[in-house]
């Protein structure tokens, strides 16, 4: 079983992914030994993550070359803080990360019968590159199919957040990304996209208000997930968490 957490910036889904992962371990389920995240989760994916998420001054420091060429006397605009990446190039970077993660980690884990928890999956591409950037949804569906070899999430948990509140929350945590440089209208489209996707497939989606207290979100997630889990082997005893996840991979 594959369980994906989705949401806009600052929705708290990464925290909820870790908590859900911990609960599944404690309840004795066979769980892939760490929660996954996209982009990332493989050596290639983590490199791609740095490309799409680190400011280009940081990338320049890592690569030992200047990627910042402001006009003399001008200040960098918010969007120029990140490496220029076109909408199509961005799509392929996320798709490349996904293709590697599916073939290297997710498929083998599912084949072993493990439950896999993932922070973002195919619907992030539909919401951000489709509804947000305006790329054709059908085309994105094809790219997603190519990347996933048909692997789809069984359950999707959407933490729905007002973008103004979510971005403020992320800024407080000093966890900026290239998407925060987009105007608020971009994030409204992403949110609307997620809500539309959830309405198309309500059996598979749980939509929660990310503004609820964190413990309440945790409770509602478990209340919905628990009855949908596969039967545990009779011998399964509550297990200790195999590895305390310090960060998502
Ligand atoms: P995160 O920091 O929430 O883990 O996600 C990284 C950023 O990448 C986030 O702003 C959303 C974006 N993203 C896409 O635009 N498309 C995708 O397919 C994925 C997986 C992430």
Domain spans of the chain?
Answer: 2-49+90-228
Smallest CA separation from ligand 1 atom 8, residue: 39
What is residue 29's predicted lDDT score, i.e. its pLDDT?
96
87 Cα to the center of ligand 1, angstroms:
13
Is residue 249 within 8 A of residue 37, CB to CB? The reply is yes
Look at residue 170 in the predicted model and tell me its pLDDT. 84
Ligand 1 centroid to Cα of residue 200, in Å, is 22
* pLDDT, averaged in runs of 10, over the chain (249 residues): 97 96 96 95 95 84 71 64 90 98 98 97 98 98 97 98 92 78 94 98 97 97 97 59 49
Residue bearing the CA closest to ligand 1, atom 4: 38
2-49+90-228: CATH topology is Rossmann fold (3.40.50)
From first CA to last CA, the distance across the chain in angstroms is: 18
Mutate to test the pocket of ligand 1, among 177, 181, 247 (most ligand atoms within 8 A of CB): 177
Q: Which residues are 71's β-sheet partners?
A: none
Query: How high is the pLDDT of residue 71?
Result: 60
CA 221/CA 157 separation, integer angstroms: 8
Residues whose CB is less than 8 angstroms from the CB of residue 123 and which lie 6 or more positions away in sequence, other chains included: 4, 6, 153, 156, 194, 197
Q: Is 41 left (phi over 0), alpha (psi -120 to 50) or beta?
A: left
The b/e string for 132-145 (b: 16+ C-beta within 10 A; e otherwise) is bbebeeeebeebbe
Question: Taking CB atoms and a 6 Å cutoff, what residues make up the pocket around ligand 1?
Answer: 9, 37-39, 53, 94, 119-120, 124-125, 128-129, 177, 179
Looking at residue 172, its pLDDT comes to 82
Angle at the Cα of 49 from the Cα atoms of 43 and 54, rounded to 5 degrees:
130
What does the DSSP assignment read for 127-182?
IIIIIIT---HHHHHHHHHHHHTT---SEEEEEE--HHHHHHHHHHTT---GGGGS
């Amino acid at each position: 079983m594959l369980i994906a957490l989705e949401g806009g910036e600052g929705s708290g889904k990464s925290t909820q992914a870790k908590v859900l992962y911990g609960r599944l371990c404690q309840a004795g389920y066979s769980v892939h030994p760490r929660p996954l995240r996209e982009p990332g989760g493989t050596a290639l994916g983590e490199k791609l993550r740095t490309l799409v998420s680190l400011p280009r001054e940081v990338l320049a420091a890592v690569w030992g070359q200047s990627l910042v060429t402001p006009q003399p006397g001008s200040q960098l605009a918010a969007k120029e803080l990140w490496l220029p990446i076109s909408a199509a190039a961005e799509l392929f970077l996320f798709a490349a990360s996904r293709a590697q993660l599916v073939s290297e980690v997710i498929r083998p884990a599912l084949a072993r019968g493990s439950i896999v928890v993932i922070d973002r999956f195919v619907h992030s591409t539909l919401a951000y590159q489709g509804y947000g950037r305006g790329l054709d949804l059908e085309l994105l569906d094809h790219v997603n199919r190519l990347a996933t070899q048909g692997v789809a999430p069984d359950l999707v948990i959407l933490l729905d957040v007002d973008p103004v509140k979510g971005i403020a929350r992320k800024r407080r945590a000093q966890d900026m990304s290239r998407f925060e440089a987009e105007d608020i209208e971009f994030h409204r489209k992403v949110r609307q996209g997620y809500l539309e996707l959830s309405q198309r497939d309500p059996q598979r989606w749980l939509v929660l208000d990310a503004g609820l207290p964190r413990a309440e979100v945790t409770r509602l997630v478990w209340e919905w997930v628990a009855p949908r889990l596969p039967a545990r082997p009779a011998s399964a005893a509550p297990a200790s968490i195999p590895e305390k996840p310090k960060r998502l991979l």
